[in-house]
Amino acid sequence: MSAPVTGRVLRTRGEGLSLRVDGRALGASLGLAVALVAVMLVTLTTGEYELSVPEVLAALVGQGDGGAEFIVGTLRLPRLLTALFVGAALALSGAILQSLSGNPLGSPDVIGFTNGAATGALLVIIVLGGGMTQTAFGAFAGGLAAALLIYLLAFKGGVQGFRFILVGIGISALALSVNSYLVTRASLHDAVAAHAWLIGSVNGRGWEQVAAVGGTLAVLLPVALGAARRLSLLQLGDATATALGVGVQRSRLVLIATSVLLAAVATAAAGPIWFVALAAPQLARGLTRVAGPGLASSALMGGLLLTAGDLAVQLLFPTSQLPVGTATGCLGGLYLCWLLAAQWRKGSYT
């Protein structure tokens, strides 16, 4: 008799361990990981100074010559890792929120975490005149504040459904207009700094950012993966999840907090990066075809999107230092149009 469920079943004798593994999802994740490694190698080897793969590897383990070590260890690797971690953090944040809200629009960049973070950053740059580190803290605080506001306004009755998204879009618009107002009040010098921050980028990011986002991921990725099964039950609605033994309020609070922290830290490190949190989980789902939250594959997809995007702008516009945020912003706009049109056709806004 074949199992009535999808995927392969792995069991040890005595069944101390029994796992369900979705072959397609596993294959897709491996594929994403391979693509990611390829993108990373190309990123580390190409640029103004070409390096061979052995030279890069030697530099990575501290056996290369001084020039190669500087290029890899100081210039390329921190930028690459920032892109990787920021992409993964944003995608994970989006995957959690989309599963919780049951809506592909439930993404930190659509519902105002990102614009809220920008408000925090601009307040620091323009009103307090802070530097890069203070700006990052401002962005972090702004993201949390926006999330708290949405939570207070929309939480009644859970985050299921469209109410949460609509309130979030409202908060996003509100934050955006505050941001515009702040920029008009700024001195020319501050306005330029603000503008530079507002276009998310991983140019010139150093080990500080790598440590901040990487450390956050190291803590929150296991938290998210540990909550993934509860998340897949929350997808069935609060009543069913409770009936199946999930502590709904607490699980949801943990998951929302995880999502908010990931988005806020990522935005603090790289500025607003659009599109990744929104699209990566959907693209990953297109590959894996799983109905569950798909957190790991989403994180891989996010890391791949942002590293590949950053590589693309470096290859296509080698001299202009185009920020990766511009590229993802263009793609994200198109994707959002398509998504809204598709949802409208499906009639899911009724």
Partner 1 sequence: MAEGKLHVTRLYAENLTLAYDERTVATELGVAIPDDSFTVIVGPNACGKSTLLKALARMLKPRGGAVYLDGKGIGEYRTREVARRLGLLPQTSVAPSGITVGDLVARGRYPHQRMLRQWSRADEAVVTEAMRLTGVLELSGRLVDELSGGQRQRVWLAMVLAQQTSILLLDEPTTFLDIAHQVEVLDLCADLHEHKGHTLVAVLHDLNQACRYATHLIVMRPGGQIAAQGRPGEIVTADLVREVFGLPCRVIDDPETGTPLIVPASRRSSPKATVVAGIERSGA
- Which positions touch partner 1 (CB under 8 A)? 1, 3-6, 9, 11, 15-20, 99, 102, 160, 226, 229, 232-233, 235-240, 242-247, 285, 289-292
Q: Which residue has the tokens 């069991």?
A: 11
CB of 25 to partner 1, least distance (A): 12
The least distance separating partner 1 from the CB of residue 66, rounded to whole angstroms, comes to 48
**Which two three-digit tokens encode residue 20?**
């369900």
In the complex, minimum distance from the CB of residue 216 to partner 1, in angstroms, rounded to a whole number: 23
C-alpha 323/C-alpha 232 separation (Å) is 36
CA atoms of 172 and 170, how far apart (whole Å)? 5
How far CA 104 is from CA of 110, 171, 213, 335, in Å, comes to 10, 18, 24, 11
Q: Which is nearer to partner 1, 203 or 343 (CB)?
A: 343
- Tokens 């709904």 locate to 248
Instruction: Return the ∠ at Cα 36 (arms to 285 and 314), rounded to 5°.
Output: 115
Q: Please, which residue, 98 or 119, has the CB nearer to partner 1?
A: 98
CB of 19 to partner 1, least distance (A): 5
Neighbours of 333 (CB within 10 A): 12
Distance separating alpha carbons of residues 118 and 323, to the nearest angstrom? 16
Q: What is the DSSP letter of 112?
A: T
Instruction: Output 82 or 99, the one with its CB closest to partner 1.
Output: 99
In the bound state with partner 1, the residue whose beta carbon lies nearer, of 188 and 349, is 349
Closest approach, Cβ 227 to partner 1, in A, equals: 11
- State which residue, 26 or 178, has the beta carbon closest to partner 1: 26
Q: How far is the CB of 229 from partner 1 (least distance, A)?
A: 7
Q: Buried b / exposed e across 282-310, counting CB within 10 Å, b at 16+? A: bbbbebbebebbbbbbbbbbbbbbbbbbb
Report the residue number, 57 or 225, with the smaller CB distance to partner 1.
Answer: 225
- Chain-centre distance for alpha carbon 3: 35
Alpha carbons 299 and 263: distance in angstroms, whole number: 12
Q: Please, what is the minimum distance in Å from the beta carbon of residue 133 to partner 1?
A: 38
Whose tokens are 């934050």? That residue is: 175
* Residue number with CB closer to partner 1 (21 or 148): 21
List the beta bridge partners of residue 9.
20
